[in-house]
Amino acid sequence: MDKDTVVGPVIQDEIERSKVGIMRALCEREDSSTKEVDDPMIRRFLRARDLDIEKASTMFLKYMSWKRTFLRHGYIPESEIANELSHNKAFMQGHDKKGRPIVVSFGNRHKPSKGNPEEFKRFVVYSLEKICARMPRDEEKFVTIGDLQGWGYSNCDIRGYLAALSILQDCYPERLGKLYVVHAPYIFMAVWKVVYPFIDSNTRKKIVFVEKKNLTATLLEDIDESQLPDIYGGKLPVVPIQDS
């Protein structure tokens, strides 16, 4: 292996370690910047494609090409998402019992009629980059509480939801640990039926709809009270993602 290749934490599973090595060699031939990527990232793409090296390599190389175009500065400048940030729709604070960062997203603060689809995509990437940068060295996943309190048709943005889903699944695979959907109104389920077929099987397993009566108890199963946002019965104030 090239001395400049980034390896990162050692992968313990022998089969995964072997496949990561093969995939790295294949991808480095196509894109030399693969050397800058650590082994856990390559493993995430492999896991997203059930350890199929060919499919994972295709997915990974597509991501590397996307990254050069979309993250041309290496990050998303806040000046390019000022409108999205002004709505304070995403927050990040604390971690669950596994050490995964906690993100809270408020669906009723998303106003597609007042926004721009491209800016929203940049906001999604900005948020995911922020989340990933905050993860402890040995942690790869985050958890999200998707709060739909007060969500209505004015907040509905199927195109935006599908764009965000595509970015999460195609460019940040195996990053989502769990998504708790809370306070979901009945009318949201019509939108959910449209979006659901686009969610891959690995992601579907991580999504949990929580009943209001069980909200705090369910969250406390995975999140200590000291780390749970105060709006859900915990003790931690929520912090806008741009300030976290």
pLDDT band (50, 70, 90) for residue 12: low
The full DSSP string for 27-86 is HHHH-GGGGGS-HHHHHHHHHHTTT-HHHHHHHHHHHHHHHHHHTTTSS--GGGGHHHHH
Lookup result for tokens 């995509």: 121
pLDDT band (50, 70, 90) for residue 64: very high
In this structure, how many other beta carbons lie within 10 angstroms of the beta carbon of residue 181? Answer: 17
pLDDT band (50, 70, 90) for residue 79: very high
The residues near 234 (Cβ < 8 Å, ≥ 6 apart) are 94, 216, 219, 220, 223, 225, 226, 227, 228
Give residue-wise pLDDT tens across range 36-54.
999 999 999 999 999 999 9
Is the pLDDT confidence value at 92 over 90?
A: yes
Q: Are 46 and 23 in contact (CB under 8 A)?
A: yes
Q: Which two tokens stand for residue 113?
A: 């009629």
pLDDT value, residue 10: 57
pLDDT value, residue 244: 86
Q: For the chain, give the mean pLDDT.
A: 94
pLDDT value, residue 11: 59
pLDDT band (50, 70, 90) for residue 94: very high
pLDDT band (50, 70, 90) for residue 3: very low
- pTM score > 0.95 for this model? no
Question: 185 by DSSP, 3-state: which?
Answer: coil
pLDDT value, residue 181: 98
Please state, for a pLDDT cut of 70, what percent of the chain lies above it.
95
Strand partners, 97: none
Cα gap 128→70, rounded to integer Å: 13
Q: What is the DSSP letter of 11?
A: P
Cα gap 216→138, rounded to integer Å: 28
Question: 139 by DSSP, 3-state: which?
Answer: coil
Cα gap 131→98, rounded to integer Å: 15
Give residue-wise pLDDT tens across range 220-238.
999 999 999 999 999 999 9
Is the pLDDT confidence value at 9 over 60?
A: no
Q: Are 229 and 236 in contact (CB under 8 A)?
A: yes
Give residue-wise pLDDT tens across range 178-205.
999 999 999 999 999 999 999 999 999 9
Q: What is the DSSP letter of 173?
A: T
Give residue-wise pLDDT tens across range 134-144.
998 889 999 99
Strand partners, 92: 103
Q: Are 109 and 148 in contact (CB under 8 A)?
A: no
Q: Which two tokens stand for residue 40?
A: 């856990």
